[in-house]
């Protein structure tokens, strides 16, 4: 995950704060060390309160309905390929309400 965040930072700089849930991917040493190395503050949501991170919950729901529910993947590489293609459309072509319907 930190590799993708480093790529994003090439275009948008590093965030000062990242809001996360209590998943293992956000509590592991690799991620927490990466966060500290970039002087980023983690803003944890309360356990059992996904509504505190509405943007990611909305993204997760959209990803589930537009990718996971539509495909039966044969392997992880296929899932990665479909996801990467979907992310390109999601991030560059699709209108987003939070961005005043801009992509």
Spell out the per-residue pLDDT of the chain, length 103, in tens: 788 888 888 888 898 998 887 777 787 888 889 999 999 998 888 776 766 667 777 888 899 999 999 999 999 999 999 999 999 988 888 877 766 777 6
The three-state secondary structure class of 83 is helix
**What does pTM read for this prediction?**
0.51
Torsion sign, CA atoms 49, 60, 80, 18: negative
């Amino acid at each position: 995950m930190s590799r993708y965040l480093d790529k994003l930072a090439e275009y948008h700089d590093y965030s000062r704060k990242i809001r996360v849930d209590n998943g293992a991917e956000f509590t592991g040493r690799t991620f927490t060390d990466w966060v500290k190395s970039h002087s980023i503050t983690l803003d944890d949501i309360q356990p059992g309160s996904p509504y505190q991170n509405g943007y990611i919950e909305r993204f997760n729901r959209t990803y589930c309905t537009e990718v996971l529910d539509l495909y039966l993947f044969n392997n992880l590489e296929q899932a990665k390929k479909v996801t990467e293609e979907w992310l390109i459309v999601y991030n560059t072509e699709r209108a987003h309400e939070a961005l005043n319907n801009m992509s």
